[in-house]
Structure formats: structure tokens, C-alpha cells
Structure 1
Amino acid sequence: MSEINIDHLRDWQGRSEEQCDLIAAFPANALAATLDRNDAEYSIGDALPPLWHWLHFLPLHKLQDRGYDGHAALGTFLPPVPLPRRMWAGSRLTFLAPMKIGQALLKRSEIKTMSHKSGRSGDLVFVTVLHEVFDGDLLCLSEEHDIVYRAAPAKDAVSPALHLAPEYSDFSRKIDPDPVLLFRYSALTFNGHRIHYDQPFCVGTEGYDGLVVHGPLLATFMLDVLRRKMPDAQINAFEFRALAPVFDTNPFSVHGLANPDGTVKLWIKRHDGALAMEGTATLGPYT
């Protein structure tokens, strides 16, 4: 494994890229079907539900340019961190204006911060990317996206301590993940990462317990259960962080607890009681 040269990697800090996309109806209708929602068919003029913009502005790379894990090889926009595991650690989003089907929107992305830590679990590199989505000059969305890179754990490594999920919630939904669910979300997001569909690679090479449920899919389930409970609520902000992986080998549950201040605490609870993801949604009109 190469040494981490954080000064070299910081050359990527401040790099930016832009993507334009015409927001289409098919991805929204396909995700609604994947989440087993009973929504009316999405069409021109309908606003995307929160987080469904993740089905758009998808980076395209040639198959020959993939890395060993199916992701695009690093070193273009994202830095060439010499650590094999790349994961979505969390996000902080502010929803400022609706993103509607039929609109041509622009997304600007910039690498904001980068840091290196070394501890009992080995080297970790954290990268935060700022994404902003515009309709002309109107800012519709601001998102800070945290990515963590780490080494593969040693075979005799001690598993990190797990946090227990809260016992009480106002509402919840049980999800039975399977390879079909993960394949659909991978296809909708053009995500070639093999840990989500290639079971021999995921278990035999990467050492996971099963196929890994996508972090953004778990976050989508959290806001989905909120929208099922409060269908008329407007969500103007959402933040979440991933704490433990979720696999296709066991069911998990999505929970919500409303707070008096207009926020809703949301979390993912694994079958073993572990807290896999936690987040907070803020309700109210667009800010």
C-alpha cells in the first residue's frame, strides 16, 4: 500500500466540474416503483421528491476506465487516494427551490476539504465535495457530500464497536433488501461498484457479510418513510451520516421521531439492533 501523501492530494482541493442534465420523468417513476410507492405517474412540471436528484447528473466513464471495484478510476475530478475502499459517509443538504421534471439544470461540484487521519483502523482520508444545482441563476439545492477512503481491514482485525439504535420511534417501516433492490438502485444511479451486486467479489474479495446496501439508498428510505407518515410536509433541509454497513442478508427497519422544534430524527436499525445510519430532517417552506 502506498503512503498517504496528503500534500499531493490537496492539489485536488478546489477542483471543480459542471454537469447539465434535463430532468426526465422515467427515473422518478422507476424509483417510485422500486420503493413500492403508489404515487401518481410523474410527468413534466412535477417536482422531484427530496434526494431523487441523485438519479441525475450521473458521471459517465468508459468501461475500460473502471477501477478494480467497478468505480471509475480516480485521479480526474476525485483525488487518487491510494486506499481501496471508498464510501459515502454522509451529506448535509439544503433544499432551496423545486427541481422539476422537464427542466434543464446545471450542477456545479467543487472539492472543498481534504484531511488524513491514522488510527487503530489504519489510514483514513476524508474528502468533502460541495454540489450546487441551479435553474439558470436560481440555486435549487446545496449539498455537502462526505466521502471516506480507507484500507481493507486485516483478516484478524477487531470489528469496530457498534452503536445501538434507539428503542422508541413514532413511525417505522421494515425493509427486506435483496439483490433485485440493489441492482435496480445501482442501475438507476449508474453505480458500477461491485459491492452492491457482485456477491463473490463483495464477500470473497472485500470481506463483507453480504451485498452492501447503498448509503444513498438508505438515506432515501429515511426520507421516504417520513413522506409516507407526513405526505404534506415540506422538507427544506436534511443531514445524515453512515455508522455501520447494512447487508442484503437480513432485514432492516427505518424509524422516525418528530421533535417539537419542527425537525424529525430518522435512523436505520439493523436486524441486530445496531444503528446503521442517523439523520435529521427539517420541515418548513423553502429557505
Structure 2
Amino acid sequence: MATPVSQSDLLDPARARALQVALRLAPCLVTGDDLPVFFHHLYFWEPRPAERLGRDGHPKTGGLIPDLGLPRRMWAGGKITFHRALKVGRSAERRSICEASDVKSGRTGRLGLVTLRHDFYQDGGLCGTERQSLIYREDPRPDAPKPETTPARHDEEHIERFNFDTTLLFRYSALTFNGHRIHYDLDYARDVEGYAGLVVHGPLLAQLLMLMAERRLGKLTAFEFRATSALMHWETAELCQQGSTFWVRGPDGRQCMTATAHIC
């Protein structure tokens, strides 16, 4: 049985306002306000000394996440259930456990599949539960086939476009204390992990979709998403909606993320 890990943090309003600015929103959050959906990723940092980091800048596996012997990490998706809003400016607790881990064979080699569960508490009550799906992969081989892409839908009822740049990726990495080098180290992303450029964070795309879903549909009770193709920092994302279904379309028409929103 996996050992759970618990961590407490103060939900600093200044950090939440900084993310609002990074996302091109008005910095309005103060103590006592509801923390916007998915903003909990700004908190519960786990700083480690350099010798306890992997080559990719992430903490080395072997603790909460088992060491599967696979060097490349990707956030494949997740599901969040919202019970009640966390409050800005007050302490909260995150209780984490690894629910599942497995190694399978895929088209491009061995794949490690990991599911983490995080429960968030404040004032003694459960505020939300998040399950994260992570994938670990082997290094790309020179003769490996290019990743397959799926064409995205074009039947949206609403669309919003969002442009990225290296400054936004740096800010999001800093605010979430995400050391993954694919988001800020171009040489590493291109030469080691085989990407065409810097990779836009999957959680950043999910964050934009969640905020869009609340603007369009109202208060969320749950949100689930799956990343399907990496988006590069120079590419414009098309954030699309049809009913309760949301997706991110790349400039070449490929599907980068799919999501489903659940409302009250």
C-alpha cells in the first residue's frame, strides 16, 4: 500500500494575483475570496536540492511516484471534483497518494502509467479531489516514428484564441514551481526530448479551458481533461466549446487537448 503524503500551505493572495496577471486577467483576488478553479497548483510547493532532481528538472522519482526506470515525464490528463471553494489567504492541506502505477509496451517503446490522487482540505472540510494521470517514456530513438496526431473537431459553437510566449511559460513554471526543462530550456526540449520547441504546459492549457468553461457555463462541479498532442510556445491555441465539451486545437488543425465540464 502506497504511503500518503500530507502538506499544508497558506494560499497567499499575492501569488494568486500574479497568476491572474500572467493569464491577462485583472489582479483582483484578496483574502477571503474564492480561489479560482485550478489555482491550487500555485501552492503546496515541494522544493528539493539540486542533487535530488532528475536530469529534466523534476524531483527524482522513488518517493510518492515510484521509479519505473523511464526518464521522460508527461502530464497526460486529469479529473478534478470541486466540493467547495478554497478560500484565498487561509491555510489549506493537500493529502496525496499514488493510486496506481504500471509499465506497458506502446508503439514507441515502454510506457509508465501513474495515477496520483490529491485531496484538498480547508477548515476541516474536503474542498476538492484531483486525480493526475502521468506518463513516463523512454528517450526517443533516431528511427522512432513521429507521434501520431488526431485532427480536432471544427463544429465549435464558441472559440477563443490564445497566444503564448517564452515569458508566459517562464512565469507559469515559476508560479507553480515546475522545474521541467521542456518549458524553458530550448536546447534540452529539442535535443534531448525531441520536441520542435518549448512545450506549453498541459496544466496551463487545462487552466485556460476551465476558466473559459466557468465563463460560458457557470460554476463547475467537476472537470476532466486529456492531453493528446504537445503545443509549442510559438503556436496559437484555439480554445473551443460545444456544449459541455471543450478542446484545444493547434494552428495546423490537430487536437492538443480534450475536456468535459460538469456544472451544478
> Which TM-score applies when normalising by structure 1?
0.89
Using the TM superposition, give the Cα deviation of residue 173 of structure 1 relative to its aligned residue in structure 2, in angstroms. 1.3
2:74 matched residue in structure 1: 87
1:183-221 deviations in whole A, cap 9, x for unaligned? 000000011111000111111222110000011001001
Q: 1:238 and 2:242 equivalent?
A: no
How many residue pairs were aligned? 264
1:280 matched residue in structure 2: 260
1:38-67 deviations in whole A, cap 9, x for unaligned? 35x110100111111111112111123221
Using the TM superposition, give the Cα deviation of residue 133 of structure 1 relative to its aligned residue in structure 2, in angstroms. 0.5
Aligned 8 A contact 2:82 2:222 in 1: yes
Give the counterpart of 1:71 among 45, 49, 58.
Answer: 58
Using the TM superposition, give the Cα deviation of residue 113 of structure 1 relative to its aligned residue in structure 2, in angstroms. 0.9
**Secondary structure, aligned partner of 1:218:** helix
Residues in 2 aligned to 1:252 and 1:136: alpha-carbon distance in whole angstroms:
38
Residues in 1 aligned to 2:7 and 2:129: alpha-carbon distance in whole angstroms:
15
Q: 1:248 and 2:236 equivalent?
A: no
Using the TM superposition, give the Cα deviation of residue 69 of structure 1 relative to its aligned residue in structure 2, in angstroms. 1.0
Give the counterpart of 1:257 among 242, 249, 259.
Answer: 242
State the AA in 2 paired with 1:58: W
Identity percentage over the alignment? Answer: 37
Aligned 8 A contact 2:68 2:103 in 1: no
1:114 matched residue in structure 2: 101
Give the alignment's Cα RMSD to 1 decimal. Answer: 1.3
2:150 matched residue in structure 1: 163
- The runs of 5 or more residues in structure 1 that have no matched partner are 1-12, 259-263
Q: 1:219 and 2:206 equivalent?
A: yes
Residues in 2 aligned to 1:101 and 1:132: alpha-carbon distance in whole angstroms:
17
Residues in 1 aligned to 2:213 and 2:83: alpha-carbon distance in whole angstroms:
19
State the AA in 2 paired with 1:30: A
Aligned 8 A contact 2:214 2:220 in 1: no
1:14-44 deviations in whole A, cap 9, x for unaligned? 22100001111012111111111135x1101
Q: 1:15 and 2:15 equivalent?
A: no
1:241-263 deviations in whole A, cap 9, x for unaligned? 111111113212111122xxxxx
Residues in 2 aligned to 1:76 and 1:128: alpha-carbon distance in whole angstroms:
14
State the AA in 1 paired with 2:124: D
State the AA in 2 paired with 1:96: H
**Runs of 4+ in structure 1 displaced over 4 angstroms?**
none
Aligned 8 A contact 2:5 2:64 in 1: yes
1:145 matched residue in structure 2: 132
Q: 1:37 and 2:17 equivalent?
A: no
**Secondary structure, aligned partner of 1:15:** coil
- The runs of 5 or more residues in structure 2 that have no matched partner are none
